Amino acid sequence: MKKLCTYFLLLLSPVVVEAQEIMTIAATIIDAETKQPVEFVNIGFLEKGIGTVSNADGNFSLSWEPKEIRGADFLQLSSLGYETKQLAVEGLGSLTSYAVLIELTPTAYDLETVLLTAEKRSFEKLGSSVYGKDRPAYWYNKKGLGGEIAAKIDIDHPQTLLHDLKFHIRENVGDSLLVRVNIYDYHRGKPGKKVVNRNIFHVIKRKGGEETIPLKQYNIRVDEDVVISLELVEVYGDAIHFEISTSPYKGISFTREVSQDQWREYGSTAVAFHLLSSYPVNPKHMSRSERRRPKKLDIYWDASLPMAKRNISEELKLLGKYFNYLDDVLVRTVIFSKGRWVEAQFDVKNGRSKDLEDYLENTFYNGASDFSEVLQKNPINANAALVFSSGETMFTQLQTALNIPIFCVNSQAEAQHEWLQELSYISGGHYLNLAEMNVNDALEFLQIEKDDTRNYATAGIDKSGYVYGVVHNENGTPLQGALVRIKNTFTEVETGPNGSYAIDAAPGDELSVMAFGMYRKDTTVRALKKLHIPLKTNRELLNEVYLETKTVGEIIGDSVVETPFGKTTKAAVGFSLFQTITSDQITANVSELSQLVNMGRGVEVVPQEIIGTFKYRFRKFKRASFQLETYAAVVIDDIVYDQNQPKVTVPLIDPQQIERITLLNTASSAIRYGSAAAFGAIVIETKNYKKGKELTKNEAKERPSALAVGNEYTETTVALLENAEVPPEYVTALRQATTFEEAKNNYEGLRRKYGDRVPFYLETARYFEKWDTAFAEGVRSNIIALAPTNIRALRALAFEYEVIQNLEDALQLYEHILNVKPTEAQSYLDVARLSAETGAVETSEALYTQLLYNVIPNVDAAELQPQVFSGFKHLIANHKSKINFEELPEQFLKVGYHENIRIVFDWTHSGTDFELQFVNPQNKFFTFSHTAFHNAALLKQEIAQGVSSKEFIIDESIPGRWLINVKHFGTTEIDNPTYLKYTIYRNYGLPSETKEVKVIDLSKYTQKITLDTFML
């Protein structure tokens, strides 16, 4: 089920900025006839969160940022006994002080007549008189005048008279409060119109304990459910900290922060208001316990693949008995799933519903659940709706826009019980959980209004049957990032930092365990108990030796820098200060090259044994190899100094003679300068240096070349991706069909054979695009239905969504992956990128900012800094007006950012072995090895940080035709292989930018293939 992504609540809060301009108005509200001040008037912009209440003298002031209010908005003033007044935004500039008067016109109304009768009345307590210890309702902001705390009160009898309102004060720090009691009718699931036409004020002085507000004198009689609220109208004192108790039982509550704001609903938390009431003891006043029998009924039937396991006999039995009770009813049925929406109508007469039941029983189940259209329209004016579903979805969750009772019906043990119960309860219906209640009990809830006493909030997931333990090596060292999966299923978990795992497996299940640097192991579950799993080390990797042990802090010191999030060490700041350093930035006090390089983007200076000598490297390559040094090449006036070679030192150079330093940490550095620049290059150009184009031919011949030698590309047999594609057997079988119906029938049979494989759904969905895109979407979404927590499978599907430009669904998948694995840095980058592409600029900026400063709790984004830098600069280039520049580093303030070619590779699991080869137009190549043998430290770091992507910037120095080759070195998995996503941006950051995305099953290509060719 798609839930609120709580990480956004965390990430958005630190980036709130101070407004550059504030609009403030002030005035006094008076009675148009008496010219006397009108006290405690509600003032505000409707549903904007900007509002207040006038004081006892009719005075008010209100401030807001101009960007929060549009020209079509208006300021509303309302008070009982007066006509509501609305003021246009353009006229508010004249409201400059309390001397400005605003008149409200009185309205005539009749006071309620107090009926003095001798009728017998029975007393009843309404609401909740039990106070919980957690989750209080509160007011903490003195400026929140007009804010309300409210609760729905069920009324069971006509002519119910309200006597007293009681609630429990948990804490009241400060002076007294003046509140107003408001009573609304309950309309379409929210507070509607006020049912009392006079102000009911009350002063709260109590610091704690039970507070009582007398209501009987106001003769408030109600027949239907109401919402009762406390409204804050005045604070006596300098501060407010006021809390009232909520109930431990389920109920419906509402709040709004300030006057005229929108209501916010809480369907699982009841504010503990309770009222003493009475109702007439009279046969004419019948209880409202029996539900109204609908004449028209909507039935929504979830046809997603997991719902094929529903207890259909119980669900249809309930329907049959309900139709017998209703007798005659018009029924609209909707069969739905991702990419599917089929409507039909049945006219049930005398309770006969066999045709309808047969129709539902023959449902074809396919795809994931998607509730985006469910309960949003009511074309037949149905009186009630039944939704048969477990409520599980990764897309739009089940919500209602209808003002009719909703009965959610579910027969599976694993379901979104709490949400289904809450939705049913709020709508006036009931949750019918046939996994826990029998059909007759469920039928009674359809017939009679009864309280729902079941509490699903604390049920949680029963893990008593889980297999759990630790994955470790021969020495007992826990292994982080090991994949533990049940063979022939999509059930898969990943071990944590301490090597622990827990998986829902049963005796007889076979577990397959894979970990970086270890041989794969299969083991059979013998009993449901603790199971530690030892893995053997791949001995080919044992020769690797750590050559670098110093931390960044030890090398550069823990110098403190200021960030928007407070002070932090320079090592902790995950972004760089400069990518290019020019002579304009070299001040007179700079005397050493190390001082300049230390300013660079992601560069660190490493002191050597001889005092005053240094080596330089990019922080991202610090542990890129156990066997090799990882220093950058230093290129001074086109002469290459390979710092990784013994006895090679960078010559002393006067910083004041430097014209420019360029920092290269991309593929182009190695292509240009050879293996010496495998880990980047620091290119220095002096002021006295004459560029090659200014040299004479003789001078040019005499100058040594800085270009690499020995990396000539001579291969001629590498196949193009398009020519290397071999369709799987199931696609070949589908291609035999001559009609869509024939293809669907073939698909059902093939799914029984290949339905436990991710490639089956991706490949067949591509095939069905030619017949029906909606059906193809349903096929594709089966991955979500079958593997809702399998990160590798979900990421493969998200890649595919990007290929077909379904960015909204891709974003929802990345958000879900983030919720499943909130410690993986990759997920935050994916959400930041897709948020920008789908227009959610504020969310993208918030995530990029925290990734830039590397301050997300329990997440290390250091390895992603180059992509964060590129993505953030791209966001700024395309959305300048929406970005807050005040707290960004200097390099983000420069205009004109763009890259000629930017290439990004993403893969579905961090520990994947593959190799990339870039070939330039001069047939020079550079190889990026992402293998355990050549780059073990990098893979270990990526597994620990949860990183599975890499960017490459190709500059425009070498025009012509480029090749990109790829080869897979890992093991081949049929059911859930590793997928590689290749994204190439041209003119990245410019209006003319283009983007192309390819996704391949990497396991197919154990021989080198050409993934792409492009012209520069």
**Residue 137 contacts by C-beta under 8 Å, 6 or more apart in sequence?**
149, 243, 244, 245, 246, 253, 255, 271
Q: Is pLDDT above 50 for 543?
A: no
**66-118, pLDDT tens digit by residue?**
888 888 889 999 998 899 999 999 889 899 999 999 999 998 755 444 444 45
The most confident of the ranges 63-67, 370-374, 422-426, 456-460 is 370-374
The DSSP secondary-structure symbol of 374 reads T
Which pLDDT belongs to residue 836? 95
> Which of 486 and 646 is assigned the larger pLDDT?
486
Question: If you average pLDDT over residues 969-987, what whole number do you get?
Answer: 89
Average pLDDT taken over every residue of the chain: 84
CA 224 to chain centroid: 39
- Interval 313-330 mean pLDDT: 96
Side chain identity at 151, as an amino acid letter?
A
Averaged pLDDT for residues 477-503: 88
pLDDT of residue 1010: 93
Quickly count: other Cβ atoms within 10 Å of residue 701's Cβ.
9
**Over the stretch 34-75, which tens digit does the pLDDT of each residue have?**
999 999 999 999 888 899 999 999 999 999 988 888 888 899
Checking if the pLDDT of 641 tops 90, the result is no
Confidence of residue 621 (pLDDT cuts 50, 70, 90): low
Please provide residue 830's backbone torsions phi and psi, each rounded to the nearest 5 degrees: -60, -45
> What pLDDT does 44 receive?
94
Using alpha carbons, list the distances in angstroms from residue 885 to 47, 564, 849, 873: 29, 11, 11, 12
Q: What is the dihedral of CA 515, 517, 523, 528, to 10 degrees?
A: -40
Element (H, E) at 323: helix 312-326
In the predicted model, what is the mean pLDDT of residues 721-728? 85
Q: Taking Cα atoms as reference points, which of 535, 531, 520 lies closest to residue 479?
A: 535
- What integer is the mean pLDDT of 964-985? 90
What pLDDT is stored for residue 68 in this prediction? 85
Cα–Cα dist 398/385, whole Å:
13
Answer for the pair 383, 364: CB distance below 8 angstroms, yes or no. no
**Could you tell me the pLDDT band of residue 17, with boundaries at 50, 70 and 90?**
very low
**Window from 20-24, 78-82, 544-548, 982-986 with minimum mean pLDDT:** 544-548
CA nearest neighbour of 343 among 380, 304, 393: 380
The per-residue pLDDT for 691 is 53
Where residue 135 falls (left for φ over 0; alpha for ψ -120 to 50; beta otherwise) is: left
Q: How many Cβ atoms from other residues are within 10 Å of residue 395's Cβ?
A: 19
In 3D, which of 963, 955, 995 has the Cα closest to residue 871?
995
Place of tokens 């403030």: 24
**Among 70, 676, 399, 698, residue whose Cα is nearest residue 387:** 399
Distance separating alpha carbons of residues 815 and 349, to the nearest angstrom: 47
Phi and psi angles of residue 206, each rounded to the nearest 5 degrees, phi first: -60, 140
Out of 212-226, 370-384, 507-521, least confident range: 507-521
Give the pLDDT band of residue 697 (cuts 50, 70, 90).
very low
Burial of 313 (0-12, 13-18, 19+ CB in 10 A): exposed
Dump pLDDT digits (tens) for 187-223: 777 899 999 888 999 999 999 999 999 999 999 999 8
Looking at the predicted structure, is the pLDDT value of residue 703 above 60?
no
User: How many whole angstroms separate alpha carbon 516 and alpha carbon 544?
Assistant: 14
3-class SS of residue 356? helix
- pLDDT of residue 398 exceeding 90: yes
- For residues 869-902, b (16+ Cβ closer than 10 Å) or e, as one string? bbbbbbbbbbeeeebeeeebbebbeeeebbbbbb
Q: Is the pLDDT of residue 550 over 60?
A: no
Q: What gap in Å lies between CA 892 and CA 666, rounded to an integer?
A: 20
Q: Which pLDDT value is given to residue 812?
A: 94
Each residue of 148-179: pLDDT tens digit? 999 999 888 888 999 999 999 999 987 899 99
Structure tokens at 221: 């009689």
Q: Please tell me the distance from the alpha carbon of residue 5 to that of residue 10, in angstroms, as a whole number.
A: 10
Q: What is the rounded distance in angstroms from the CA atom of residue 163 to the CA atom of residue 153?
A: 14
Q: Are strands 177-187 and 190-194 parallel, antiparallel or unpaired?
A: antiparallel
The CA distance from 263 to 150, in Å, is: 10
Q: In what order do the strands lie in the sheet with 658-664?
A: 580-582, 658-664, 681-686, 633-636, 639-641
> Average pLDDT, stretch 755-771?
96
Lowest mean pLDDT among 33-42, 658-667, 924-933: 658-667
For the record, the structure tokens of 514 come out as: 């894979």
Question: Which residue carries 């998986």 as its tokens?
Answer: 503
pLDDT given for residue 954 in this prediction: 83
Rounded to whole angstroms, the Cα distance separating 172 from 208 reads: 6
Q: What is the rounded distance in angstroms from the CA atom of residue 826 to the CA atom of residue 907?
A: 11
Q: pLDDT tens, 769-822?
A: 999 999 999 999 999 999 999 999 999 999 999 999 999 999 999 999 998 989
Give the per-residue pLDDT at 670. Answer: 67
CA angle in degrees (0–180, nearest 5) for 121-126-131: 145
Measured from the Cβ of residue 762, the count of other Cβ atoms closer than 10 Å reads 22
pLDDT at 720: 87
Higher per-residue confidence, 857 vs 227: 227
Structural domains of the chain sorted by starting position, each given as residue range(s) with its CATH number in brackets: 22-104 (2.60.40.1120), 121-280 (2.60.120), 296-447 (3.40.50.410), 477-537 (2.60.40.1120), 552-702 (2.170.130.10), 722-1015 (1.25.40.10)
Specify burial of residue 854 (Cβ count, 10 A radius: 0-12, 13-18, 19+).
Answer: buried
Q: How many CB atoms lie within 10 A of CB 556?
A: 18
More confident residue, 471 or 113: 471
The confidence score (pLDDT) of residue 643 equals: 85
The DSSP bridge pattern shows strands 74-78 and 160-174 to be: unpaired
pLDDT surpasses 80 at 557? no
Helix or strand or coil: residue 212?
Answer: strand
Measured CA to CA, the distance from residue 355 to residue 371 in angstroms comes to 26
- Pairing verdict, β 42-45 and 50-53: antiparallel
Q: Are 77 and 41 in contact (CB under 8 A)?
A: yes
Question: Which string of b and e fits 80-92 if b means at least 16 CB within 10 Å?
Answer: bebeebebebeeb
Output the pTM of the full model.
0.69
Direct distance between the N- and C-terminal alpha carbons of the chain, in angstroms, rounded to an integer: 45
Q: How confident is the model at residue 461 (pLDDT cuts 50, 70, 90)?
A: low
Count of CB atoms situated within 10 Å of the CB of 767: 19
Q: Taking Cα atoms as reference points, which of 526, 473, 523 lies closest to residue 499?
A: 473
| DSSP string of 161-176, one letter each residue | EEEEEEEEEEEEEES-
